[in-house]
Amino acid sequence: MKATIALTAAAALAAKASAACFAERLGYPCCSGNEVVYTDNDGKWGVENGNWCGIADASAQATCWSLSQGYPCCSSSNAEVWYTDASGKWGVENGDWCGIPTGSTGGSTGGGNVTPSNEQYTISGNPFKGVEFYINPYYVEEVDGAIAQMSDSSLIAKAEKMKTYSNAIWLDTIKNMQSWLESNLQGAQTQHQSSGKDILTVFVVYDLPGRDCHALASNGELLANDGDLARYKSEYIDVIEGHLKTYKSQPVVLIVEPDSLANLVTNLESTPACADSEKYYLEGHAYLIKKLGVLPHVAMYLDIGHAFWLGWDDNREKAGKVYAKVISSGAPGNVRGFTDNVSNYTPWEDPTLSRGPDTEWNPCPDEKRYLEAISKDFKSAGIKSVYFVSDSSRNGKKVDRKHPGEWCNQTGVGVGARPQASPVSGMDYLDAFYWIKPLGESDGTSDESAARFDGYCGHETAMKPAPEAGQWFQKHFEQGIKNANPPL
């Protein structure tokens, strides 16, 4: 048995699902608190929101390097060692891999225990220019797991190329931020020491109270109330600030709270949940801009939806007022610019579309025309720094959607332009194309009985069956690399 596991360990570790506590392996969430209701052989259980949840072992978490890699800790530091690699010693519990706790802290995925440099990096101009992009180790593992399920050699070759490109690291829960932020900042510093180049890491800040108020598939852990706003500030933003202040020798880009402010532009009157969230979106943005926007090695981009959300003249005009107010509320913090098309599929250019009935008279039916127009609107609104990062991770091919507002797991997907600085001649305000949404991670489940099912994920052009948002979607990934434009 041990020999079999040793021979297949690399493939198994790459393919296995991640878990932040023992309960996730069993299909239950992790608790946010520590009140024990029941104990069995698996561990300690609590109840939150009417559901069972697993209580993580705090002492093990403090010393277990595997959490930052998305793998659970073994229940004991004396667990039997089944396999050893550069990360550490691995055990097996309940038929799943786990990391055996040691005396060290922090994960080795991003670079192990790295002493922070005292040097201060200062961003001047386009943060994507003149730097090397950090490679997301978690995504590399996801793609390795995908390759293990393939038999087509040409498809495997395309997937291998995907591992060489940078994409964003999503800090979409407090736990994931605790696991992924510091370890990848360490990883960037290690990559810098190895290559001698400045290494840019891109994170997505994504945990506002009442997150994604107009959707169901990607609702967050924090609710729209004063208590969760306090948690957002103290347990999330303040912790991010502390790590960024510690690891200050390399540049960092923050993509800030996708969909939030765009919802305030268009959905306050139509969606009660957005009206309930407005206060927390505004206060949350003001707080994070004040805290993070003063750090000289950090550049922030606020999300502006996409061409078929805010592209119409009246929406862009209203957006200018909303975003100008938000930015000024965060003074003295600075915002570099804005990001569009995050997790969406709208092509960069679509010459087949124009303002007319097919586009509901939208004058900006592709992302290029959208940025050309909204850059003027934002400057007219008094916003001083107007630069853009456009998500090109899934817009290489025009998808099959029958309405340009369709957003969930669209069929016909193709990975788009590779991450690069200043990609379009004559658009000096376009800082970069970048892969913000990792291709292969689901937009939402197609299971109509699921609590987080959103109707858009059941539409005709949404690929099915689809797993929950953020989980690996093999079929969508394979179609995306087949349809890559430019080809992989």
Cβ contacts of residue 139 below 8 Å, gap of 6+?
A: 163, 167, 438
The residues that bridge with 92 in the sheet, in sequence order, are 97
Ordered strands of the 83-84 beta sheet:
83-84, 89-93, 96-99
Q: Is the peptide bond before 72 cis (omega within 30 degrees of 0)?
A: no
d(CA 167, CA 419): 8
CA dist 425 and 438 (Å) reads 26
In 3-state terms, what secondary structure has residue 273? helix
**DSSP helix/strand/coil, 430:** strand
Other CB atoms within 10 A of residue 92 CB: 18
443: annotated active-site residue: yes
DSSP 100: P
The catalytic residue among 212, 350, 366, 377 is 212
Q: In terms of DSSP H, where are the helices of 46-169?
A: 58-63, 137-147, 153-162
432-461: string of b/e by CB count within 10 Å (b at 16+)? bbbbbbbbbbbbbbbbeeeeebbebbbbeb
Q: Which of 57, 366, 377, 443 is catalytic?
A: 443
- Residue among 259, 350, 391, 454 flagged as catalytic: 259
H-helix or E-strand spanning residue 116? none
> How many Cα atoms are found within 13 Å in the side-chain-facing hemisphere of 245?
10
* Residues 67, 61 contacting (CB under 8 angstroms): yes
The partner residues of 441 in beta bridges, in order of sequence, read 472
83 φ, ψ to 5°? Answer: -160, 145
Amino acid at 438: P
- Radius of gyration, alpha carbons of the chain: 22
- Determine the Cα–Cα distance for residues 443 and 183; give it in Å rounded to an integer: 26
50 Rama sector, left if φ>0, alpha if ψ -120 to 50, beta otherwise: left
Helices vs. strands in the chain: H and E counts, helices first: 14, 15
Of the candidates 262, 366, 275, 365, the one whose C-alpha atom is nearest the C-alpha of residue 315 is 262
Angle of helix 2-15 relative to helix 137-147, nearest 10 degrees, comes to 120
Residues catalogued as catalytic: 212, 259, 443
